[in-house]
Structure 1
């Protein structure tokens, strides 16, 4: 009873946020939201974009070619994500807010340019460079919120921040339901240029976190990448790389192929193509809402049972829901409704990404924190690019997308055996 009273008292006396902390959070959240929107726009417009661009590039727009080209372009996008580790050392050296704004500029401008593509090669180049920008946004937004917010609020701040990415999924689905259906895929990519405004606001209104300023004042600049791979941090760096790799494989296996799966099931159920596309948007919206709820539920659970047990719960939920959706419901005679129901479950446990925004900053000191965050996320994206390419080849060769995607559940089972090697940081303050 006393513990409940103590928690209630603490909740009433949380450290208030100042104007810069509030503006910085909303800038980071908006950037992460528009980042998620940008990422998912590609999944939603994949088929119409490639159907138009493949003939211009000398290839027939057959379903097999669309699937293969889509996987190759997405792999290029993930490689761009992987190269985003360049932003981490820049942020540790020059500051969080300036470099965060730079990542947003990069992905916004090149997403907008994707609307001008005349062939698949141009689209691939634009998506690759946009990926470099998008990949850096999470690492820098997560680092900023962890350092700028007071200790008694930063853990929930991580959960709040992560909701932005899935709010972006929802926004992309809503735009596709309205703009995409009526104005086409080029208009969808143009909407991705909007975050430039967000980047300008971050540069003008948000101050650097005091933790970074203090660390910068006393730090003799070394090589942060070498330090996180050195004896002091090597184990936790590679464990986080492995766990983030698993999370990324699961997210993209489910999220990228979800619209295509829903369209196939809706068409099988007798819906016309426009109605099937709208159904895919509705399913994406439900997936996004469920993931936002999963993100918000995660920080209190991580405070109650610890970081490692929380991630184990979410990984187990991902494994079961991926198999339930793509391995079972996708093959039912009337599988549309069961598939969407499983997507909601998958979406909730997809909130596991919020744990990394909370947990990863707790494992590294300020002088190397952004580098560590960026390196771990980039490593996972490089591996994810390879897995996505193999997944596309499997879909092409097996002539089905359900089984190949369902097999990715094995990654989460492997993750359950890796989690014990990670440090438990529940109750620790953010290291300076």
Structure 2
């Protein structure tokens, strides 16, 4: 009885959040949600957009050309994501909130402009610049929440924040189910301009984190990009880059090709075109809900068994789920239901990204934290762009998307051998 009373009192003694911390979290969460929505809009409207734009660009809109052009444009988008490391040093120099708002402005405006595309070249340019903005949001939102929330709350804050990205997937699926089906792909891109409002609210309502203000006041001008490759941080920087690369490759292999896989399986099952699109939207919603659950389950597990063991559990789950969905269920005679069931497992373990929101800020001091976070995520996106291009070529060559995507499960096996080289930060406070 006393033990239960003690635990209850500990929960009640958690540091309360002030108005600025609450507003800051919701600003970061909303930006991250709309970021996820924006990212996934492209996967959902890929086929109809390229079917219209390829003939205007001098190419036949054959399934092979749509697949190849889609992979090339998505690779360009990921390269834009990779270039987003520029936001990190800016945030370490000028503060988290102003630069966070800048990233939201960038991806919102150029996503809206994608709706005006007359050919694939214009669409590629708009998606490339939108990618630069989208890529910076995670690093800055994760850094801001880690620094602004109290120590006894920031771990769960990382899990809560990461749910936003997958809530964005769910939102994109809902918009596609309603707006996309009735009004087309241009209307879907126009909805991506809405985050401009969030950027304005971030600038007006969210205060800078005290940790950054104190670090800025007591330190001389540093070169954070050079410092994260100095003797203090070099090893953890490269290990984080490798682990994030693996997570990104797995996420995009599964998430980007999931709608196309569901549409193919639904069509094979005899569904009409619009019904197949709706089924893909519902499957994406299920994937998103499962990932949100995975994000919420991760911080308590990381506190119990440690960061490294938690990532190993999630990486193992991802390997099994990708192989089970794309390597097995996709090829069953009646594979639609088993494939969707596997998507729930894939989604849950896709919540491994919440660990990086929690873990990366713990590995770097305040004066270089945003730079380290942005660089590590950007590195993974550059590699992800190359892998995505190779996947597109493999799909075109093999005339199937199941096996190429299933092979990305091997990346998570490699990750299990890299995890031991990362630092364990369980029980440590956020470094100043």
TM above 0.5, one fold?
yes
The SS at the match of 1:334 is: coil
Aligned equivalents of 2:193, 2:72: Cα separation in 1: 23
User: Equivalent residue for 1:413?
Assistant: 413
Structure-1-length-normalised TM-score: 0.99
1:219 is displaced (CA, Å) by 1.0
Deviation sequence 1:101-145 (CA, Å, 0-9, x none)? 000000000000000000000000000000000000000000000
Q: 1:34 to 1:112 in 2, by over 3 A?
A: same
- For residues 193-215 of structure 1, give each alpha carbon's deviation from its aligned partner in whole angstroms, at most 9, with x where no partner exists: 00000000000011000000000
Deviation, 1:5, is 5.5
Inter-partner Cα distance in structure 1 for 2:159 and 2:32 = 12
Separation of aligned partners in 1, 2:152 and 2:108: 33
Cα deviation for residue 383 of structure 1 reads: 0.3
Q: CA deviation at 1:7?
A: 4.2
Task: Spell out the pairing of 1:199-218 with structure 2 (5 A cutoff).
Answer: 199-218=199-218
Instruction: State the 4+ residue runs in structure 1 displaced beyond 6 angstroms.
Output: 1-4
2-structure distance, mates of 1:135, 1:244: 13
State the TM-score, normalized to the length of structure 2: 0.99
Per the alignment, residue 140 of structure 2 pairs with 140
Q: Deviations over 1:245-280 (max 9, x none)?
A: 000000000000000000000000000000000000
- Shift of the 5–331 alpha-carbon distance from structure 1 to 2, 3 Å rule, reads farther
Give a deviation string over 1:149-192, Cα, whole Å, max 9, x none: 00000000000000000000000000000000000000000000
1: CA distance, partners of 2:336 / 2:6: 47
Deviation at 1:2, TM superposition (A): 7.6
- C-alpha displacement at 1:8, in angstroms? 3.4
Structure 1: tracts of 5 or more residues without a match: none
Query: SS at the partner of 2:431?
Result: coil
Quote how far apart the aligned CAs of 1:13 are.
Answer: 1.1
In structure 2, the CA distance between the partners of 1:225 and 1:425, relative to structure 1 (3 Å rule), is same
Return the offset for 1:9: 2.6
**CA distance in structure 2 between the aligned counterparts of 1:401 and 1:7, rounded to whole angstroms:** 50
Deviation per CA, 1:281-307, whole angstroms, max 9, x where unpaired?
000000000000000000000000000
The 1-side partners of 2:248 and 2:2 are apart by 40
**Secondary structure in 2 aligned to 1:9?**
helix
Q: How do 1:119-158 residues align onto structure 2 when only pairs under 5 Å count?
A: 119-158=119-158
- 1:419-430 residue pairs with structure 2 within 5 A? 419-430=419-430
Cα distance per residue 1:22-80 (max 9 Å; x no partner): 00000000000000000000000000000000000000000000000000000000000
**CA drift at 1:222:** 1.5
User: What per-residue deviation string (whole Å, max 9, x for no partner) do you get for residues 307-326 of structure 1?
Assistant: 00000000000000000000
Q: Is the partner of 1:58 in helix, strand or coil?
A: coil
Match of 1:161 in 2: 161
1:264/1:165 Cα in 2 relative to 1: closer, same or farther (>3 Å)? Answer: same
Deviation at residue 4 of structure 1 after TM alignment: 6.3
Residue number in structure 1 paired with 2:296 = 296
Match of 2:255 in 1: 255
Distance 2:231 2:4 in 1: 41
Say which SS state the counterpart of residue 42 (structure 1) adopts: helix
Shift of 1:411: 0.2
Q: Distance in 2 between matches of 1:194 and 1:5?
A: 47
Provide the C-alpha distance between the structure 1 equivalents of 2:54 and 2:365, rounded to a whole number of angstroms.
Answer: 48
Moved more, 224-233 or 8-17: 8-17
